[in-house]
């Protein structure tokens, strides 16, 4: 039993989980199937094979197997940074004067600075197993592209990343990171695809968008032998891989002798939120526990709090299947907030169903509130959080302040999805008073 002043709870390498948790097998209402927009038929795993690797396609639709083995080679790679620490935020608690116990799972310690590597490594491994030689993807701010570049290198696969042109120019360090890990990075729109050419012919100065970059990456995957497309959020298999976060946290909370009353994560497409939440949510589903789960999204892109539950496309151009999700509409253009990873118009299908069924909650956070929370966290816990993660911290502070009013000693766990050391321009803007 640990003393109650322990700061960080660490697991040994042997305690890195050997299985991911597939919540689809236990949901009271399964996600309704995605639909092929041409045939209107429900989508099957085979429909994804031309673009995604087969194992990930199967995992996407697996509603039977509760536990999915983590391949040994992926666990070996996880050892480079896992387990990640569970940290008691004594400094933040003190600054808030709250009776709440605040813990955070520190995913920022991964070599790429975010949780995204947990799925990138799995996807690269399965691609390698299936004889894939090239992977392609899109990236906005560059977090996912960086994770994929690292993972491709780890498994000996070539990576081609289409980076939204404006980010390519404004965030040179994430581009350098991707190139350092050996990826080929192309600003999108580019002349290397039809989708890109079409846009540049009409509009030579187009600054790019995630929707266009997705179209370019999918086109490259379709046109190139042994090349697969990979995605860093939204899809169910991505969230499955992220459950390693919550499974570790469950063991670490046990070391701390506590169990969370509230679990909080920021929300882009849902992978880090699902990753930390689902392993705890399974004890709600079985009736043993009554934890609350809060997804914190930006007020500028409020799909969970203000969106509509319906079938919608995953991309701007409408190339993807129709997915049942909370959405602001696939042509929704969010303001250019600094939390680039939270600007997606829709939510993953599992999280959408859970929200519809009242099993999770959502809140929205304004940009100034998110940075105020991030700065307080940096000053009290010593870690500069990613602009995305700041939303989880702001929601945590709101809960902790409520505990101060009621005197409740609640246990709050949040996911620190990444650090902000490559996002200091955003902090500069905040500190200069330019965020309104
Ligand atoms: C991409 C990203 C997110 C948002 O993606 P989810 O799939 O919702 O987790 C959050 N935080 C960081 C640091 C990211 O890189």
167 pocket-lining for ligand 1 (C-beta < 6 Å): no
Q: What is the pTM of this model?
A: 0.97
Q: Is the peptide bond before 83 cis (omega within 30 degrees of 0)?
A: yes
Distance 4 CA to ligand 1 centre (A): 31
Cα distances (Å, whole numbers) of residue 90 to 1, 96, 200, 261: 19, 10, 52, 17
Closest residue (by CA) to atom 2 of ligand 1?
A: 341
Residue with tokens 């469950």: 250
Distance 197 CA to ligand 1 centre (A): 30
User: pLDDT above 70 covers what percent of the chain?
Assistant: 99
Closest residue (by CA) to atom 14 of ligand 1?
A: 341
More confident residue, 334 or 44: 44
Residue 42 has pLDDT above 60, yes or no: yes
pLDDT tens digits, 315-353? 777 778 899 999 999 888 788 888 888 988 999 999 999
418 pocket-lining for ligand 1 (C-beta < 6 Å): yes
Residue 139's pLDDT band, with cuts at 50, 70 and 90, is very high
Residue-level pLDDT at 1: 52
Distance 108 CA to ligand 1 centre (A): 11
Copy the structure tokens of residue 274. Answer: 């699902």
Closest residue (by CA) to atom 13 of ligand 1?
A: 418
* β-pairing verdict for 158-164 and 86-88: unpaired
303 pocket-lining for ligand 1 (C-beta < 6 Å): no
pLDDT tens digits, 182-236? 999 999 999 999 999 999 999 999 988 888 899 899 999 999 999 999 999 999 9
With CA atoms as reference, report the closest residue to 391 among 412, 362, 411. 362
Residue-level pLDDT at 68: 98
pLDDT tens digits, 287-312? 999 999 999 999 999 999 999 999 99
Residue-level pLDDT at 4: 64
- Alpha helix segments (H runs only) across 114-235: 117-129, 143-154, 165-170, 172-180, 194-202, 210-223
Closest residue (by CA) to atom 8 of ligand 1?
A: 268
How far apart, in whole angstroms, are the C-alpha atoms of residue 422 and residue 127? 29
With CA atoms as reference, report the closest residue to 61 among 48, 44, 36. 44
With CA atoms as reference, report the closest residue to 145 among 125, 173, 170, 109. 173
Residue to mutate (ligand 1; options 392, 417, 420, 422; most atoms within 8 A of CB):
417
116 pocket-lining for ligand 1 (C-beta < 6 Å): yes
269 pocket-lining for ligand 1 (C-beta < 6 Å): yes
User: pLDDT above 90 covers what percent of the chain?
Assistant: 87
pLDDT tens digits, 378-406? 999 999 999 999 999 999 999 999 999 99
386 pocket-lining for ligand 1 (C-beta < 6 Å): yes
270 pocket-lining for ligand 1 (C-beta < 6 Å): yes
Residue-level pLDDT at 37: 85
298 pocket-lining for ligand 1 (C-beta < 6 Å): no
With CA atoms as reference, report the closest residue to 371 among 435, 422, 414. 435
Q: Please identify, by atom number, the ligand 1 atom nearest to the C-alpha of residue 239.
A: 7
Torsion sign across C-alpha atoms 58, 118, 219, 138: positive
* β-pairing verdict for 101-106 and 411-416: parallel
Residue 436's pLDDT band, with cuts at 50, 70 and 90, is low
């Amino acid at each position: 039993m640990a003393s109650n002043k322990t700061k960080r709870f660490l697991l040994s390498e042997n305690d890195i989980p050997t299985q991911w948790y597939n919540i689809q097998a236990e949901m009271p209402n399964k996600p309704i199937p995605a639909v092929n927009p041409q045939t209107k038929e429900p989508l099957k795993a085979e429909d994804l094979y031309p673009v995604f690797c087969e194992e990930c396609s199967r995992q996407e639709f697996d509603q039977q197997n509760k536990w999915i083995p983590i391949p040994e080679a992926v666990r070996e790679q996880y050892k480079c940074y896992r387990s990640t620490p569970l940290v008691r935020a004594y400094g933040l608690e003190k600054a808030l004067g709250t009776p709440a116990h605040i813990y955070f799972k520190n995913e920022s310690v991964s070599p790429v600075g975010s949780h995204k590597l947990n799925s990138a490594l799995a996807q690269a491994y399965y691609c390698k197993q299936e004889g894939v030689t090239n992977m392609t993807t899109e990236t906005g701010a560059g977090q996912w592209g960086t994770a994929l570049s690292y993972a491709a290198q780890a498994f000996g696969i070539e990576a081609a990343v289409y980076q939204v042109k404006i980010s390519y120019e404004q965030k040179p360090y994430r581009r350098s990171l991707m190139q350092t890990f050996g990826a080929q990075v192309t600003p999108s729109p580019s002349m290397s695809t039809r989708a890109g050419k079409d846009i540049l012919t009409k509009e030579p100065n187009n600054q790019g968008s995630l929707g266009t970059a997705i179209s370019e990456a999918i086109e490259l995957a379709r046109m190139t032998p042994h090349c697969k497309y990979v995605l860093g959020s939204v899809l169910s298999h991505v969230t499955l891989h992220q459950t390693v976060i919550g499974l570790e946290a469950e063991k670490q909370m046990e070391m701390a002798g506590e169990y969370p009353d509230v679990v909080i994560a920021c929300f882009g497409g849902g992978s880090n939120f699902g990753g930390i939440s689902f392993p705890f949510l399974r004890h709600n589903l079985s009736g043993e526990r009554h934890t609350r789960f809060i997804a914190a999204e930006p007020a500028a892109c409020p799909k969970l709090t203000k969106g509509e539950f319906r079938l919608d496309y995953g991309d701007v151009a409408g190339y993807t299947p129709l997915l049942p999700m909370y959405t602001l509409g696939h042509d929704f253009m969010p303001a250019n907030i600094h939390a680039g990873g939270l600007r997606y118009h829709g939510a993953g299908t599992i999280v959408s169903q859970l929200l519809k069924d009242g099993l999770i909650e959502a809140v929205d956070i304004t940009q100034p509130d998110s940075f105020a929370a991030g700065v307080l966290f940096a000053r009290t816990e010593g870690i500069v959080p990613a602009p995305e993660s700041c939303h989880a911290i702001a929601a945590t502070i709101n809960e902790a302040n409520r505990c101060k009013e009621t005197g409740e000693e609640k246990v709050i766990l949040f996911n620190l999805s990444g650090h902000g050391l490559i996002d200091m321009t955003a902090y500069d803007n905040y500190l200069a008073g330019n965020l309104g």
